[in-house]
Amino acid sequence: MIQSLRRIFCVGAILVAAGCSNSSVSTVPEVAKIAPSSGEHGHQASKHGGIVVPIGSDSYHAEAVFEKGGILRLFTLGQNEAVILEIEAQPLTGYVKIEGGPEAESFVLAPKPLPGDKAGMTSQFVGHLPKEMAGKKVEVTISSIRIGAERFRIAFKSSADAGDHGMPAKVIDDDEKKLYLTPGGKYTAADILANGSETASQKYKGIKVTHDVKPQSGDKLCPISMTKANPKFTWVVDGKTYEFCCPPCIDEFIALAKEKPGEIQPPEFYRQK
């Protein structure tokens, strides 16, 4: 459900982002078309040896490849996994934890276009897992990936169980409404009214999201991603107005305010030193 997923979400800290931007880009061969193996789902494999992850109930797919040194490559694929899918170049928010572990750490998957990808588009994203998780069995959640006009969440393990191809995690409307329209912790009924009694995805539908991972001294920071906040994306929590980098971070912050209110700081705390 959405709240359990949101407990492990949005863009990583500046040092992590910088590490991702320095990743080397390798030329990767296109996915080989292989007959589906027997089984209920019948996904195809690839020469990369990665894990095929459905996106949006099999509308699209991704292939996650874990490399030595903690490098994670994510390739976007079509409904037919043999087809490379180019999508808008965008930084992806990743959250990773040891398989079965209680806590996650954030990291960034930066767009690294493959040869042949159109300008402004990419079919590959590259990130570095935290050093202590390199080579371990981990669980990864990508908080938001935009494909066309839709946004999806995806989750997968580095060692998928037999017959397990990850799980689609597009935001479920009923769960989103429950998160936003019921008070709890520091998120009050007055806050709900102040925010117009709607969800962030409703309020900010159609507004383009960009991420600035290099905020300057004095800039306001998104409380979740610690990237530069965007004044377009605000939300009232505990009677105070916070600024965020994107709507998925608002999701995560509200979940935090309800489940772990002691971790919430006042808005002025979230500034670049």
Residue 59 shares a structural domain with residue 131:
yes
By the 8 A CB rule, do 86 and 123 touch? Answer: yes
User: Which token pair is 43?
Assistant: 């996904």
pLDDT the model gives residue 162:
44
* CA pair distance 170, 155, nearest whole angstrom: 10
CA neighbours closer than 13 Å in the CB half-sphere of residue 140: 36
Identify the residue with better confidence: 32 or 103: 103
Residue 64 shares a structural domain with residue 82:
yes
- Domain final residue pick, 168, 202, 235: 168
| Range 65-90 average pLDDT | 91
What's the whole-model pTM score?
Answer: 0.46
Residues 169-204 pLDDT 10s: 334 467 888 999 999 999 999 999 999 999 998 898
- Quote the domain boundaries for residue 110: 2-168
Instruction: Provide the domain count of the chain.
Output: 2
List of E strands, the chain: 51-55, 60-66, 71-77, 87-88, 92-98, 105-111, 121-122, 124-128, 138-147, 150-157, 167-168, 230-237, 240-244
Residue 137 shares a structural domain with residue 200:
no
Residues 236-250 pLDDT 10s: 999 999 999 988 889
Residue 23 shares a structural domain with residue 126:
yes
Residues 215-265 pLDDT 10s: 899 999 999 888 899 999 999 999 999 999 988 889 989 999 999 999 999
pLDDT the model gives residue 181:
94
Residue 31 shares a structural domain with residue 111:
yes
CATH no. for residue 28?
2.60.40
Residue 116 shares a structural domain with residue 150:
yes
DSSP letter at 79 equals S
Residue 93 shares a structural domain with residue 135:
yes
- Domain final residue pick, 117, 145, 168: 168
Helix axes 173-181, 247-259, angle to 10 degrees: 60
pLDDT the model gives residue 127:
94
Residue 221 shares a structural domain with residue 253:
yes
Highest mean pLDDT among 12-16, 39-43, 78-82: 78-82
Q: What is the DSSP string of 178-244?
A: HHHHS-BTTB-HHHHHHTTSS-HHHHTTT------SSPPTT-BB-TTT-SB-EEEEEEEETTEEEEE
* CA pair distance 222, 228, nearest whole angstrom: 6
Residue 16 shares a structural domain with residue 133:
yes
In percent, the amount of the chain with pLDDT more than 70 equals 77
Q: Which has the closest alpha carbon to 15: 220, 239, 213?
A: 213
User: Which token pair is 33?
Assistant: 């078309």
| Range 156-165 average pLDDT | 62
pLDDT the model gives residue 166:
39
Residue 157 shares a structural domain with residue 190:
no
Residue 106 shares a structural domain with residue 152:
yes
